[in-house]
Structure 1
Amino acid sequence: MNLLIEVLAFAVAIGVLVVVHEYGHYSVARWCGVKVLRFSIGFGKPLVQWVSPKTGTEWTIAALPLGGYVKMLDEREADVQIPAGQLPHAFNRQHVAKRFAIVAAGPVANFILAIVLFAAVFATGVSEPAAIVAAPAANTPAALAGFDGGETVVAVRNSDGGRGEPVRSWSDLRWKLLGAAFDHHRVILSAKDSHGTSDFPLDLRDVAEKDVDDDFMSHLGFEPGGGKLIVAGVQAGSAAQHAGLAAGDRLVSIDGKPADNATAFIAYVKTHAGKPMTLQVERGGDAQQAGKSEEIHVVPLAQRDDATGESIGRIGAELATQVPSIQVRYGPIESLQLGAHRTWDLAAYSVRMFGRMLTGEASLKNLSGPVTIADYAGKSARLGPSAFLSFLALVSISLGVLNLLPIPVLDGGHLLYYLVEAATGKAVSDRLQLVLQRAGLACIVALSAIALFNDLARLIHF
């Protein structure tokens, strides 16, 4: 069933993105007076064909659905001589500004789609984890900033002044810190707890590029807090069983520190192999003891970590976190503004990430291919409409940015040709374009191979 959901979600995602991208080219070409011969979704043998009696455009759905194209009237690609009356409608006869607009319209359409999708999510509302910080690990940036755990971050601002930006959820906090880390800024986090609102200076100037990944917040010491940490199960013969822990127990604190996040709890246990710990527990599994609070003393057993080879502490308990969430919703105008802002930020982030991968500052492992996209498409679809629309917007932005890269065979390569033509007054020769296209194709094949390798590495964990 999960495989079917992934396949369907992937097909819908790719179909929507390709149609929007190609329709951007098509609509601006028609607006510029260029005759469009074919609008194809997919490549290879046509499965469905229809010719518009009004425009003469052939609409096609082809066998290989990974992409699409718009074929325009062009003297360079014509098999037979084009009648003189149709030459004004040929793409190659258009002014360079029109050709530039037609080619740029595809990626622009992807960005517009992302804005609309994000706006829809913001307007309809989405449930997200609250920006409550769990007790951070020692010596992490969060701990050095002064967080003890339990604080709710409400705003972020640059340390050199400026207007603070409100933080509405955990994902909002993550995104703002990610941008500050990329720019190597120091920021001030305003957070409130039972004592009021305080400022926490966070230095992100020395965050390593390798740490700007999916575990970015964990590297900083930030984990969602304020939730309930529940014992989901206890292994037979484990330290947890000997100490008296049982399924359904709620872990309130560990050595006096709030226990509201599984990742932080596990990290603390790992550093206490053979050392006694005191757990404050609320009984939940036994109906007669439900709600009863008591202290439990447990000594984590020392075990070898297969990943690092080091000795770490384990108590043998399976944990589940119930994180508090909030409903985030905005008005129509603000939703569009936030959608545009989120699209811009993500596009800029993608460009910077591509640049840093080229210079070696970021790992090529960040590249993903169709397998990962299908996996995330299925996961987001199972989470609900808001998650799937957000995923679709993210991939649409990635597609737009990718097509704007100045690589021949991509839209960005053609735009580069037109910029050279506009600056020099001469078109790039067909011979040079052919050489550059072969080099560009080699780049695309190499990137695709790396992305596919990364997909397989994630799939089989090697």
Structure 2
Amino acid sequence: MNDLPFYLAAFAVVLGVLIVVHELGHYLAARWCGVKVLRFSVGFGRILCKKELGEDRTEWALSVFPLGGYVKMLDEREGDVAASEAHRAFNRQGVGKRSIIVAAGPLANFALAILLYWAIFMHGSEELLPLLGTPPDGSPAAMATIKNGEQVRHVDGEPVATWNDLRWLLLQKAVDRESVELEVVNERREIASHRLYLAAAGEQGWEGDALERLGIRFYRPDMPPVIGKVVAGGPGAKAGLQSGDRVLAIDGQPVARWMEFVAKVRDSAGRSLRLDLERVSGNVSVDVIPEAASERGRNVGKIGVAVAENPDSRREVRSFVSYGFFEAGRRALVETWDKSAFSLVMMGKMLTGEVSWKNLSGPVTIADYAGQSARLGLDYYLKFMALVSISLGVLNLLPIPVLDGGHLLYHMIEVVRRRPLSERAMEIGQQIGMSILISLMAFAFFNDLTRLFNG
């Protein structure tokens, strides 16, 4: 609960910036097209405060429901318009100008994402290298003979510089490809290739961690199972574990590496384990019960110990990555395009049933991610804002009445028919669109609550 104000503040900043940018797109396009703007509102419903500015005395307002906003323009369909200002009414504009005004909101969200990515790529950040860890037995990565410590250089010929690059490429390619070729280099600088089959990524409708289902894990050094720090008051300390103890076996099963020890402990929450230890004073056996801890929606066992430092096992796992002005701009454009296209593909797969609707997120989940990204640092927070801005742009371009994409659909029909749809037809469309939107919001909020209470 102590994090709640911070998370809400992080969410409010993201939401406020994206709403203002979106509506500012509509506002600036309307002004450019000669349409009079009556009100610019952040939020819906009853107006909390407002101020009139400019020659047109446009109302700049803050309204009670903050999940959105609107730009109200002069329109003969919504009230009386003086003859002297009729030429400035939205409905009097040609279909081209009306389409520009409508499309400007989502385009402003895409422009914001490009600018954010551009700044991030130019400034640079510490990134994890694309180092692979030991895959679980039976996973696609294990069957591809991936080994601990290998660094990915290319995925199907596309260069990979960071762990995020690797993750994003694999997610993209898992949507429509059966397999990819990973070109890797090991610690001895030997180059090898692995054929990784991707079908497992979407086995659960893309819910959860797709890379984990592929067996793609980040590198962990092959450390010997020697205990370093023991947390005071933890299960390990209570059982008598000491710094310097080497774990020989768990329940009679030999242990050769630290990660084997960790895996066994994590899978044994609440269950007693017999540890055979090598100690300076002589070999001993102790019983320890790992305490349960929630991690990514499931309970795992922990005993409050850390691995002993081993200088021979140290390896650089991070790199500072930055780009020049033009390369950063190119990457920002590609990043925005790729994530927009991926969003559309995943929405399509939701409609066909290939992707679970449980992946739909609402304000609670977005607020949670906003807080988490803000905790990690400014670059993570800005990347999150860019991603949500892209999602907002894509969502608003969907051909659903009440959304910008629905209005663009009306305009396309008008071009084909050479006359606008009747007001009755548009009214029916608005009702249908509102029903769809409310249903989606209700489903997203239900998913939020399910994640909140069920992990």
Q: Same fold (TM over 0.5)?
A: yes
Structure 2 CA distance for aligned equivalents of residues 295 and 351 of structure 1: 60
The Cα of 1:326 is off from its aligned counterpart by 2.1
Hey, what does 1:266 align to over in structure 2? Answer: 263
2:365 is aligned with 1:372: yes
Pick from 193, 200, 211 the counterpart of residue 199 of structure 1: 193
Does the 8 Å CA contact 1:38/1:70 hold for their aligned counterparts? yes
The Cα of 1:318 is off from its aligned counterpart by 5.4
- The 1:341/1:228 distance shift into structure 2, 3 A limit, reads farther
- Identity percentage over the alignment? 44
The Cα of 1:51 is off from its aligned counterpart by 1.7
The Cα of 1:345 is off from its aligned counterpart by 1.3
Does the 8 Å CA contact 1:129/1:224 hold for their aligned counterparts? no
Letter aligned with residue 197 of structure 1: I
Partner secondary structure for residue 149 of structure 1: coil
After the TM superposition, which of the residue ranges 195-204 and 42-51 deviates more from structure 2? 42-51
Hey, what does 1:151 align to over in structure 2? Answer: 150
Partner secondary structure for residue 408 of structure 1: coil
The Cα of 1:105 is off from its aligned counterpart by 0.8
Letter aligned with residue 346 of structure 1: K
After the TM superposition, which of the residue ranges 184-193 and 31-40 deviates more from structure 2? 184-193
Structure 2 CA distance for aligned equivalents of residues 457 and 248 of structure 1: 44
Hey, what does 1:420 align to over in structure 2? Answer: 413
Structure 2 CA distance for aligned equivalents of residues 131 and 261 of structure 1: 22
The Cα of 1:194 is off from its aligned counterpart by 2.4
Hey, what does 1:27 align to over in structure 2? Answer: 28
Hey, what does 2:92 align to over in structure 1? Answer: 93
1:141-192, Cα deviation, whole Å (9 max, x unpaired): 11111112111112111xxxxxx22211111100000001012242111111
Partner secondary structure for residue 147 of structure 1: coil
The Cα of 1:226 is off from its aligned counterpart by 3.9
1:55-90, Cα deviation, whole Å (9 max, x unpaired): 332211223222110001111111x2x122211111
Partner secondary structure for residue 204 of structure 2: helix
Partner secondary structure for residue 59 of structure 1: strand
The Cα of 1:52 is off from its aligned counterpart by 2.1
The Cα of 1:424 is off from its aligned counterpart by 1.8
Structure 1 CA distance for aligned equivalents of residues 246 and 97 of structure 2: 65
1:92-149, Cα deviation, whole Å (9 max, x unpaired): 1111111111111101110110111111111111222221111101121111111121
Letter aligned with residue 8 of structure 1: A
The Cα of 1:233 is off from its aligned counterpart by 5.0
Does the 8 Å CA contact 1:255/1:277 hold for their aligned counterparts? no
**For residues 319-330 of structure 1, what are the structure 2 equivalents within 5 Å?**
324-330=317-323
Does the 8 Å CA contact 1:365/1:454 hold for their aligned counterparts? yes
| Count of aligned pairs between the two proteins | 435
Structure 2 CA distance for aligned equivalents of residues 60 and 46 of structure 1: 6
Hey, what does 1:381 align to over in structure 2? Answer: 374
- The 1:255/1:413 distance shift into structure 2, 3 A limit, reads farther
**For residues 347-366 of structure 1, what are the structure 2 equivalents within 5 Å?**
347-366=340-359
Does the 8 Å CA contact 1:137/1:267 hold for their aligned counterparts? no
Letter aligned with residue 179 of structure 2: R
- The 1:255/1:334 distance shift into structure 2, 3 A limit, reads farther
Letter aligned with residue 97 of structure 1: G
After the TM superposition, which of the residue ranges 393-402 and 253-262 deviates more from structure 2? 253-262
Hey, what does 1:408 align to over in structure 2? Answer: 401
Does the 8 Å CA contact 1:21/1:110 hold for their aligned counterparts? yes
Hey, what does 1:83 align to over in structure 2? Answer: 82
Structure 1 CA distance for aligned equivalents of residues 420 and 228 of structure 2: 69
Structure 1 CA distance for aligned equivalents of residues 68 and 346 of structure 2: 24
2:224 is aligned with 1:225: no
Hey, what does 1:129 align to over in structure 2? Answer: 128
Letter aligned with residue 208 of structure 1: G
Does the 8 Å CA contact 1:300/1:315 hold for their aligned counterparts? no
Q: For structure 2, which runs of at least 5 residues remain unmatched after alignment?
A: 309-313
Hey, what does 2:311 align to over in structure 1? Answer: none
RMSD, aligned CA: 3.9
Structure 2 CA distance for aligned equivalents of residues 295 and 111 of structure 1: 63
1:314-372, Cα deviation, whole Å (9 max, x unpaired): 78565689993222211121111111111111111111111111222111111111111
